Structure 1
Amino acid sequence: MNNLLIVGLGNPGTQYAKTRHNLGFMVADRLAGRFGTAFKDGFKGLWGEFRTDEKHFILKPMTYMNLSGQSVAPFMSFYKIEPENLIVIQDDLDMEFGRIKFRKDGSSGGHNGIRSVTELIGTDKFVRLKMGIGKSRSGGTVGHVLGKFENDADLEKFIELGTDAAEALIRNGLKSAMNTYNNKSVFDGENGQDKT
């Protein structure tokens, strides 16, 4: 498999830690831990590398969400990463909490981080690992995405599921990972959903 760049989206700063919008950071951190990757500063972000059969990269843009492309685009240019080898881990309002899905390309769906990456790399032909956070019960989107998860145990299971899916893609390729993980939920087989 070619060199992959796995990007976890989020906002820097302790006030945003463990918020719904920072799921990408959480999975990137867990993935880095699994592969023994140490982060260093560069490309307006924190990044590290690891090896399977090939060398791969993990990047957390430190630009704030709506400017994520300012970190991703120069990294891809420097390391000659093709768009089809970019995997972006994002939160998704349109899926219930606990569910994940790989998507090969398409619009940002209103996600500012995805919009920024698409604009600055000049294409939407890159893979996203979408992690459902559900819609706000009160209707306030900003407060919802910047709010914290209410159940740490469910969040922990969700981070683990997302990390498993990302690792499966790295080791086995996108098609296999999609077959195994698309529409999978931490609540599969349980009664009741949306335990954020």
Structure 2
Amino acid sequence: MDFALNAWHIFNQSIGDYHLTDHVDEPQKQPFPAGSLEQLLYSKNWIDTVQWHLEDIIRDESITPDQALLIKRRIDASNQKRTDLVEYLDSWFLNHFIDIVPAKEATINTETPAWALDRLSILALKIYHMNLEAERQSATPEHRAKCTTKLDVLLEQKTDLMTSINQLLADIENGKVKMKTYKQMKMYNDESLNPVLYQKAK
């Protein structure tokens, strides 16, 4: 099975579903069975897609400081959900490969399967929106040409990243790569680790 291609289709299904309304408050769809790998991948991209548009909104210079603060809080919460879901996905992969005994000479990859999929999810969003810009008729021909050039690079990155993800999974399955994960241990959302927060509690 071409795992990366399957993930790519799921990511783009999420992006397409979001843009049916194109609103950051649209409830997440549930097209796959709860708890399935497909649903996890879909949820991962939905979080990324909503956050993509929140990042657009917060850059509107006409929004009020109060509005900007609320959006910043949403982005912070979204980042935490994204990290938590990526780590949950890595737990899924760890369990999936639990019976694999790595070879003595097995190496460790610089990133886990889930964090590679995180990059693929973001890349799907970049390609979707760059394609819109490359075809936007209200833009100048020069703008469309520049975006078409950028789109070509993104599509090359897609091919390379998907190939790398499939190779990584094959290498783990064959014992050539040892799967090892670390929690991100983000500190700024933790009231016991962020000095700004815990000093206020004194």
* TM-score normalised by structure 2 residue count: 0.26
* TM-score normalised by structure 1 residue count: 0.27
* Structure in which a larger fraction of residues adopt strand: 1
> Which structure has the larger Rg?
2
* Structure in which a larger fraction of residues adopt helix: 2
